[in-house]
Structure 1
Amino acid sequence: MSKFNKFIPLDKSWLTRVGVLDIINGYADIERFISDQKDINDDILAIRNASIAWRKNQKINVGESATLYRLLQFASWKLKLNKVFIKEGSLKDRKITDDPNIVNFNQTKLLNLDNGTTQWATATVICGDRERLDNPPQKLKETYDAVLHWETQRKKGLCWEPKYDQTIERQVKTFLDLLNNKEVNYTPLCSDDYCFARVFNFINKKNGEKFWPSLIGHETNRIEEMEYAIKEAEETANEANSITSKDHRVIQALAMWGVVNNKKLVFKNHNSVNKSWPKFWEFLESVKREKSSDFSNNINKASQKDRKLSDKKIINLISDEIKKELNTISLIPSENVMSRLATSAYTLRSNNRYVIKSKIGSRYFMPGRENLGKIITILEDKLCSIYDVEFSITKGFSGIHNMDVVMSAIGKIIKKIVILNIQSGGHSKTRGVALKNGFEVETLNLDFDTWDLDYKDFGRIIEKWEKEKVFIYLDHTVSVNPLNIEKLTRKIPKSWIVYYDISHLQLFYFTRVFKFPKSQNFFFGGSTHKTFPGPQKSIVLLNSKKLYDLVDAEFVKNTSSVHTGSLLALLITVLEMEKFGEKYAKDILEKTKLFAKMLSKELDVVGPLPDLTNTHQICIDVPNISQITQKLASIGVITLPMRIPSKYRSGLRFGIQELCRLGLKNNDLQILSKIIIACVRDRKINTKFNIQIKSLAKRLNNNIKYTLSHKKSF
């Protein structure tokens, strides 16, 4: 921390208070002090200039500083001086009380003006009010301290002492701790902390509005400005678009968030930070250089150490990881386990064999491997029958591979795409892949009353592109409610094409628990290892021969090996889920709703009413997500922070699909819910929790359900 102290600015709040005390009492020390400084912010420069103008009885330019304006305007009214003030920038548009009679108000009454700002109450204290409130707001307490300090120093014949900005200093310390993965316990103390606290999830929008109503009257309406800026950051990270805010606190907060989260953000109003922190960008570059240097050094040290490991030690590392896995529980919605039979397909020599598509007759041709080709054909035929489609493609390796190939194929006939906003549960990679494939992108939101597509918002897009060919690509990653595809296909123009990535909901559509319309301009697919407990592969399912030829040709261009072992494992899982899938799917849905109900007794579970989820996923809005996930991991519960729809920040996202395949019981959910609530509520985590998790993991991890009985493994 000490090496970055040189970048911390002077405390402009403190200087404004002691500076105005100088101004109204005839001292010029503030002018001399500021003139001697280098790299000072705009608001501090405004104090010096205002002091000079006050002495010379000239018009007083207060710049964009609302604090300086209110303090001097109040003094002018109180002293009946009729000073004239000039406002700059955003200050000209801010609604500020313009009534000289407020000089007769007490501090409590002044605190109710202008959305609860402390600045009018500060002004009366600066002008000699001796009242001292019990438990005053932080900024008013700072005023009491500043007046006491100024008066004490003047009685001694001394000048006041400057301070460095403690608000920024606290934020810097927390930022550096977050960057170094240290445990953080940051509490926002005043409205100037809000932007930083909001972006790092130390406070939510609701509490910001509650604690500091004055936030709506700063350079911007900071409550709404932060929500919009967070949305921009999530959507434009690592792209050419920029953060458009002009608010210095917003820009500083988002820039630090970008460094912590490895997001490359571009700011349209780069120089706005000069209002409070002139050396901000210099500070950030210094931090990034040190981070890069430390990372390189750590990598080099680790590499040197790892190079010296013997083969025995490396094998032991793998063994340790396997043992550790058996003592943990995964609540990640994108993971599952295969049966022993399906897993054993990877141990076969067939796993390493190529099955090349024929150009001379039979569907697959390779002398001596015709049977493998036949087995793959059986898989594809089964998928067509189960999903009630005409065509299936099994060449994909993952959901993202599917996304890239499908967009590349459709991009040959369509140049406009509609994707799901990441704030509505869309995948973080979709926009980038769409841009890479040359699409013009529009984003679609969810309606959080119905948790389906926002058709009012969608109407805007239809009106804009009604006469164009458009591709709708819906990758619903954070999905607590399935989308109504039948309604969607009724709303869109006939020339539009829809693809729905059902990676997370694959099992529910496989078993017909959820249903699709049958349509030529609609196709779907996704990965096969989330609710569907298969290998890390992906499939595409279609009814249109034209679309099949287009997409399949693109897969052929982009793949050689079809990963035969994965296809064998997928076929085995298809056989298992044909027999047991409906029972498994319904068990997941029932237990997930029960789990959500248990958690919602003390936590903010986010989702559709009345059950808060209609899929395998549960979303929970929590503070300090990094600390909570680390705490859960320390006792053996593995989770992954994920962006929560409607909340514009990361929270907890759970899925119990894997645990249900391992034989999860309702009583187990009681144990898990108590542990999770204790971690989120920051209650004491005792050894009992570790013992319970290890015991539960030991029982579940040796018991895979919904398997074929006549063969255990190959």
Structure 2
Amino acid sequence: MKKFNEFIPLDKSWLTRVGVLDIVNGYIDIEKFINNQKDTNDDIVAIRNASIAWRNNEKINVGESATLYRLLQFASWKLKLNKTFIKEGSLKDRKITDNPNIVNFNQTKLLNLDNGTTQWATATVICGDKERLDNPPQKLKETYDAVLHWETQRKKGLCWEPKYDETIERQIKTFLDLLNAKEVNYIPLCSDDYCFARVFNFINKKNGENFWPSLIGHETNRIEEMERAIKEAEETANETNSITSKDHRVIQALAMWGVVNKRKLFFESPNSINKSWPKFWKFLESVKREKNNNYSKNINKSNHRDKKLSDKKIINLISDEIKKELNTISLIPSENVMSRLASSAYTLRSNNRYVIKSKIGSRYFMPGRENLGRIIAILENKLCSTYGVEFSITKGFSGIHNMDIVMSAIGKIMKKIVILSIQSGGHSKTIGVALKNGFEVEALNLNFDTWDLDYKDLGRIVKKWETEKVFIYLDHTVSVNPLNIERLMQKIPKSWIVYYDISHLQLFYFTHVFKFPKSQNFFFGGSTHKTFSGPQKSMVLLNNKKLYDLVDAEFVKNTSSVHTGSLLALLITVLEMEKFGEKYAKDILGKTKLFAKMLSRELDIVGPLPYFTNTHQICIDVPNISQITQKLASIGVITLPMRIPSKGRSGLRFGIQELCRLGLKNNDLQVLSKIIIACVKDRKVNTKFNIQIKNLAKRLNYIKYALPYKKYF
């Protein structure tokens, strides 16, 4: 990212605000600053020209900048100066309020003008309005910050300081991550994010219209312009079929999309992008050169290195990985180990057998596989009995597979969805899967006082969609507290449907340590390999026949093999957890709270008081997460960075569910806590730590809570 910093433009939004503050207060610093810049965009040049014209009482050319026009027009009305303005390009055709009396409006009323733009409210703040709204739109909040900064600097006898465009900087980072196939958690924050977010499916058209009505009044109607441009991009094959848009944000977004998707696009108006990002095309060429160079180097190195590997060397590579695993411990909350008996199900011939009912006439048969079919039926009956539901589905392969199938099924009967926000620990994939399945999305937050759902936020959504059919899909990658589903069901309309992904908490619900309400419009499920120490599989559990038929039909449509070996391994794990699960669950919960207490003596643990956790997960707010995870890995402690709820940045997320199944003792937690604290506090890490982890890993090698009478098949 750093190598591309030279291409990030100045923040024109910030410069417009501090520039207009200079203009109306008689300063010329904005002119001096812009005169000293190279490669400035058209809107920034317009600020300088407007400043000169304002103080010389000449006609003021604001170019195509609606922000600059509204701010100066408002100031002219407010100060009764009767200034004359010249508009250029698309600005001449845009519908903009022309009523001097709006200078008497408060900010809330101003926010209702011109399709909800924040620019009139910004103008009154620039002109001295001291009102500060709670939870203002992003751009209005930036105005508050700009005014505070400008006033603070002027009181010190100093000039304001410029900023670089954080909106474009975030988009660059996300673009580079997409290009390098990294996991992305991009959230559009303001209307300037829409085009980029739309083309990469971080938002859909409907949500764009709802979040930022002002989009229809930019250089173009950006909602419709993006849809046209996306269609053109998907059809473009040569110069005779180009992207026709002249909107700078649209061009930027589509050009980036083309690079990520390896599509050669042509633009009729490439220079339009100078309005916001003069170095954009240079940036894109630099990225493509870097990508091509890295790709060639990596391919050549990889091919040269791996091409000569014999079968024996490849087997040795696998052996080395197995040996390495024996000297490390995993603190990743989404990992666990199966018993030897469950694992051995994968070596059976049955693992490779299809269990598919064949229809002959009006009857179904499984010729020669009847017994396997019966075993799967036993599994599903046990799940129904244990969870207290009428129906179970075990065709899913993972939590994400469940998510996609469930949303696809429910999307046939409703098109509005409420998901848990990423900032509150929600899964990063949920919004993308929801948008792919055509849902209009609302994100629900947690209340970090209770670490349950924010019912004030829920009330807002209920008020908005009370008469609609709505699907609530809740899953939390970071789950330090179970959600109170019973309370949720009491707060929503009876026509709404709720699904709770309990992947991380599966064992606790299986053993009834945590409990659910029984309801026709509530169902749940998730993966079976986290706290529930089974195979990489997933299940859905329901009490509603219509919902069962709808979801099961979607699974049938999208799967062929049910992965028989996985189901056999799951059945064995179910038998083990029926016998030992409650003891195992309480062992995890007790030791996790103890571990959190030890770590909290010196580290910033994030979670519900008094224990910081009520599940198997512990979250720690740390500086320099990448360095810390690498340092822990070098000692033999495997972790993954994870966005920490309430902090808005990545931290450490631990889970000791696997270690508990391997026989973890309280004294072992003392050793682990000292090592983790030393790494986070950047204390000296010596070989003693490596030896302690190796010894611990070797000792934690016996799987507990397993059936005693058969070791393996």
- Normalised to the residue count of structure 2, the TM-score between the two structures is 0.69
Aligned to 1:707: 706
Structure 2: stretches of 5+ with no match in the other structure: 66-81, 88-118, 130-146, 178-183, 216-248, 263-269
Contact 1:8 1:279 in 2 (8 A): no
Q: Tell whether 2:405 aligns with 1:405.
A: yes
Aligned pairs for 1:463-474 (under 5 A) are 463-474=463-474
SS of the aligned residue for 2:395 comes to strand
Q: Tell me, yes or no, if structure 1 residue 383 matches structure 2 residue 383.
A: yes
Q: 2:154 aligns with which of 110, 120, 127?
A: 120
The equivalent of 1:696 in structure 2 is 696
Distance 1:418 1:166 in 2: 35
In structure 2, C-alpha distance between the alignment counterparts of 1:228 and 1:607, rounded to whole Å: 33
Aligned partner of 1:346 in structure 2 is 346
Q: Which residue of 1 aligns with 2:144?
A: none
Is it true that 1:239 corresponds to 2:209 in the alignment?
no
Give the whole-Å Cα distance in 1 for the aligned partners of 2:535 and 2:194. Answer: 34
* C-alpha spacing 1:236/1:626, structure 2 compared with 1 (3 Å): farther
Cα distance in 2, alignment partners of residues 586 and 621 from structure 1: 26
Give the 5 Å matches for 1:307-346.
Answer: 307-346=307-346
- Is 1:355 the counterpart of 2:351 in the alignment? no
Distance 1:116 1:298, change over 3 A: same
Q: Deviations over 1:149-208 (max 9, x none)?
A: xxxxxxxxxxxxxxxx9999xx99xx99x989xxxxxxxxxxxxxxxxxx99xxxxxxxx
Q: Determine the C-alpha separation between the residues in 2 that align with 1:230 and 1:668.
A: 48
Whole-angstrom CA distance in 1 between matches of 2:657 and 2:386 = 21
Shift of 1:36: 10
Distance verdict in 2 for CA 1:360–1:440, change over 3 Å: same
Shift of 1:43: 5.8
Aligned to 1:210: none
Q: Which has the larger radius of gyration?
A: 1
Is the 2:4–2:283 Cα contact (8 Å) retained in structure 1?
no
Q: Aligned-pair distance for 1:367?
A: 2.9
Q: In the alignment, what sits opposite 2:606?
A: 606
Partner of 1:222: none
User: Does the C-alpha gap of structure 1 residues 356 and 486 become closer, same or farther in structure 2, counting only changes over 3 Å?
Assistant: same
Aligned residue type for 2:678: A
The 5-angstrom pairing of residues 280-295 of structure 1 reads 281-282=280-281, 284-295=283-294
Alignment match, 1:539: 539
Q: What is the Cα deviation at residue 513 of structure 1?
A: 0.5
Show the counterpart of 1:596.
596
| Cα distance in structure 2, aligned partners of 1:230 and 1:699 | 52
Is 1:425 the counterpart of 2:459 in the alignment? no
- Write the distance in 2 (CA, Å) between the matches of 1:234 and 1:670: 46
Equivalent position amino acid for 2:202 in 1: E
Opposite residue 382 of structure 2, the aligned amino acid is: K
CA distance in 2, matches of 1:477, 1:571: 25
Q: Which moved more, 1:301-310 or 1:340-349?
A: 301-310
Which residue number corresponds to residue 628 of structure 2? Answer: 628
1:50-93 superposed Cα distances (whole Å, 9 cap, x missing partner): 68988x798999999xxxxxxxxxxxxxxxxxxx9999989855
Q: Which amino acid aligns with 1:414?
A: M
Deviations 1:463-494 (A, max 9, x none): 33333332222122211111111122222222
Inter-partner Cα distance in structure 2 for 1:388 and 1:307? 54
Partner SS for 1:396: coil
Q: Classify the secondary structure of the residue corresponding to 2:417.
A: strand
For the structure 1 residues 622 and 287, does the alpha-carbon distance in structure 2 shift closer, same or farther, using more than 3 Å as the test? farther
Measure, in 2, the Cα distance between the counterparts of 1:481 and 1:371: 41
Equivalent residues in 2 for 1:508-519, closer than 5 Å: 508-519=508-519
Q: CA separation of 1:565/1:428 partners in 2, compared to 1, >3 Å: closer, same or farther?
A: same
Amino acid at match of 1:556: V
> Map of 1:126-145 to 2, 5 A cutoff?
none
Q: Distance in 2 between matches of 1:509 and 1:520?
A: 18
For 1:552, the equivalent position in structure 2 comes to: 552
Deviation of residue 659 (structure 1)?
1.0
How far, CA to CA, are the matches of 2:84 and 2:697 in structure 1?
Answer: 68
1:668 aligns with 2:668: yes
The alpha carbon displacement at 1:296 in A equals 2.2
Q: Judging changes above 3 Å, is the alpha-carbon distance between structure 1 residues 373 and 614 closer, same or farther for their aligned structure 2 residues?
A: same
Distance 1:356 1:11 in 2: 60
Residue pair 2:345, 2:566 contacting (<8 A) in 1 also: yes
* 1:424-471 deviation digits (Å, cap 9, x = unpaired): 222122222222223232222222221112222222222333333322
SS in structure 2 of the partner of residue 395 of structure 1 = coil
Provide the rounded CA distance (Å) in 1 between the counterparts of 2:10 and 2:435: 44
SS of aligned partner of 2:394: strand
**Take 1:463 and 1:602, find their aligned partners in 2: how far apart are those partners?**
44
Q: Give CA-to-partner distance per residue, 1:237-266, whole Å, 9 cap, x none.
A: 6434579899xxxx9xxx9xx99xx999xx
Secondary structure (helix, strand or coil) at the match of 1:573 reads helix
1:484-503 correspondence runs (5 A): 484-503=484-503
- Counterpart code for 2:441: V
Q: Which moved more, 1:555-564 or 1:527-536?
A: 555-564
Aligned to 2:104: none
Q: 1:654, CA displacement in angstroms?
A: 1.2
In structure 2, what is the Cα distance between the partners aligned to 1:315 and 1:418?
47
How far, CA to CA, are the matches of 2:651 and 2:549 in structure 1? 41
Counterpart of 2:334 in structure 1: which amino acid? S
Contact residue 356 and residue 364 of structure 1 kept, 8 A: no
For residues 116 and 683 of structure 1, the distance between their equivalents in structure 2, rounded to whole angstroms, comes to 41
- Are residues 364 and 6 of structure 1, via their aligned partners in 2, closer, same or farther at CA, if it must alter by over 3 Å? same
Which one-letter code corresponds to 2:673 in the other structure? S
TM-score by length of 1: 0.69
1:206-252 per-residue CA deviation (whole Å, 9 max, x = no partner) reads: xxxxxxxxxxxxxxxxxxx9899999999996434579899xxxx9x
Tell me how far 1:7 sits from its aligned partner: 4.5
Identity across aligned pairs (percent)? 71
1-structure distance, mates of 2:524, 2:5: 55
Kindly state the Cα deviation for residue 528 of structure 1 after the two structures are TM-superposed. Answer: 0.3
Q: Structure 1 regions of 5+ residues with no counterpart?
A: 65-83, 99-112, 127-138, 141-164, 181-198, 201-224, 265-269
1:712 deviates by: 1.2
Maintained 8 Å contact 2:605/2:612 = yes
Q: 1:233 to 1:41 in 2, by over 3 A?
A: closer
Residues 376/8 of structure 1: CA separation in 2 closer, same or farther (3 Å cut): closer
Distance of aligned partners of 1:488 and 1:97 in 2 relative to their CA distance in 1, 3 Å threshold: closer
Deviation at 1:306, TM superposition (A): 2.2
Contact 1:364–1:370 at 8 Å: present in 2 too? no
The aligned length equals 587
Structure 1 residues 350 and 2, CA, compared in 2 at 3 Å: closer, same or farther? closer
Q: Which moved more, 1:575-584 or 1:472-481?
A: 472-481
Instruction: Please tell me whether the aligned partners of residues 7 and 280 of structure 2 are also in contact (alpha carbons under 8 angstroms).
Output: no
1:118-267 alignment to 2 at 5 Å?
A: 119-120=153-154, 124=157, 238-240=201-203
Shift of 1:564: 0.7
CA separation of 1:445/1:234 partners in 2, compared to 1, >3 Å: closer, same or farther? farther
Please tell me whether the aligned partners of residues 502 and 524 of structure 1 are also in contact (alpha carbons under 8 angstroms).
Answer: yes
Match of 2:372 in 1: 372
Structure 1 residues 498, 60: CA separation in 2 closer, same or farther (over 3 Å shift)? closer
Using a 3 Å threshold, how does the CA distance of structure 1 residues 336 and 287 change in structure 2: closer, same or farther? farther
SS of equivalent to 2:541: strand
SS in structure 2 opposite 1:602?
A: coil
Q: Which residue of 2 is the match for residue 190 of structure 1? A: none
Matches of 2:553 and 2:37, distance apart in 1: 71
Match of 2:567 in 1: 567
